[in-house]
Structure 1
Amino acid sequence: MLALFPDSKSFVLSDSPSALGVLVCERDGIAPFAEGAYIRRLSLVADAIGIALVVFAPWTWDARSDSVRGWTWNKREQRWIARARKLPRVVYDRAWPATEVEKRRFQVALGRIRAARALIFLNSRLPHKGKVGEMLARDPAYAALVPPTAPYKGPHSLRAWLREHDGSAFLKPVAGSQGKRVISYKRDNDGKVELAGRTSSNRSFSFTAATEQDALNRLHRWIGSHAYIMQPLLELHTADGKPFDLRSLLQKNKSGRWTVTGVAARVGAAGTVTANLHGGGRAMHPGDVLEPLLGEERARTVEQRIRAISLRLASWCEESFGRFAEIGLDFGVDRSGKLWFLEANSKPGRAAMGSAGKEATQQAVVRPLSYASTILLRPSGRVIHEFDHL
Structure 2
Amino acid sequence: MPATFQASRAIIGPTPSELGILVCERGNCPPFAESRYVKRLSLLGRQMGMRVFAFSPWTWSPEDDSVKGWSWNETRRQWQAERRRLPSVVYDRAWPDSNEEKRRYRHALGAIQASRRIVCLNAHLPHKGKVYEMLARDRTLSVYLPPTAKYEGISSLASWLRKHDRSAFLKPVGGSQGKRVLALTGRQDGSVALAGRDERNRPLARSCGSEAEALRRADRWIGGRSYLMQPLLDMRTPAGEPYDLRALMQKNRRGRWTLTGIAVRVGSPSSVTANLHGGGKAVPAEAALVPQFGERRSGELLEEIAALSSSIVARLEQTFGRFAEIGLDYGIERSGKLWFLEANSKPGRAAMSSVGEEAAVAAAVLPLSYVKSILLRPPGRVIHEFDHL
TM-score of the pair, normalised by structure 1? 0.92
Aligned pairs (5 A) from 1:309-328: 309-328=308-327
Paired AA for residue 190 in structure 2: G
Give 1:147 shift: 0.2
Distance 2:137 2:239 in 1: 35
Q: Does structure 2 retain, via aligned residues, the 8 Å contact 1:54–1:85?
A: no
- Alignment gaps of 5+ in structure 1: 1-14, 382-390
Give the direction of change, closer, same or farther, for the CA distance of 1:149–1:322 in structure 2 (3 Å limit).
Answer: same
* Residue 36 (structure 2) aligns with: 37
1:133 paired to 2:132: yes
Give 1:16 shift: 7.3
- Alignment gaps of 5+ in structure 2: 1-13, 381-389
Distance 1:19 1:275 in 2: 36
Distance 2:60 2:378 in 1: 28
Distance 2:27 2:46 in 1: 25
Distance 1:108 1:135 in 2: 27
Paired AA for residue 57 in structure 1: S
* Residue 89 (structure 1) aligns with: 88
CA offsets per residue over residues 246-273 of structure 1, 9 Å max, x none?
0000000000000000100000011110
TM-score of the pair, normalised by structure 2? 0.93
Distance 2:147 2:133 in 1: 9
Distance 1:164 1:115 in 2: 48
Taking every aligned residue pair, what percent have the same amino acid on both sides? 56
Give 1:138 shift: 1.7
Moved over 6 A (4+): none
* Residue 357 (structure 1) aligns with: 356
Give 1:52 shift: 1.1
Distance 1:257 1:300 in 2: 24
Distance 2:336 2:26 in 1: 43
Aligned pairs (5 A) from 1:226-245: 226-245=225-244
* Residue 105 (structure 1) aligns with: 104
* Residue 247 (structure 1) aligns with: 246
* Residue 307 (structure 1) aligns with: 306
Distance 1:379 1:158 in 2: 54
Distance 1:378 1:174 in 2: 37
Match of 2:24, SS? coil
Match of 1:115, SS? helix
Give 1:30 shift: 2.9
Aligned pairs (5 A) from 1:1-390: 17-377=16-376, 379=378
* Residue 6 (structure 2) aligns with: none
Q: Does structure 2 retain, via aligned residues, the 8 Å contact 1:333–1:340?
A: yes
Distance 2:114 2:186 in 1: 51
Distance 2:125 2:84 in 1: 30
Q: Does structure 1 retain, via aligned residues, the 8 Å contact 2:135–2:315?
A: no
Distance 1:345 1:333 in 2: 19
Paired AA for residue 124 in structure 1: A
Q: Does structure 1 retain, via aligned residues, the 8 Å contact 2:168–2:183?
A: yes
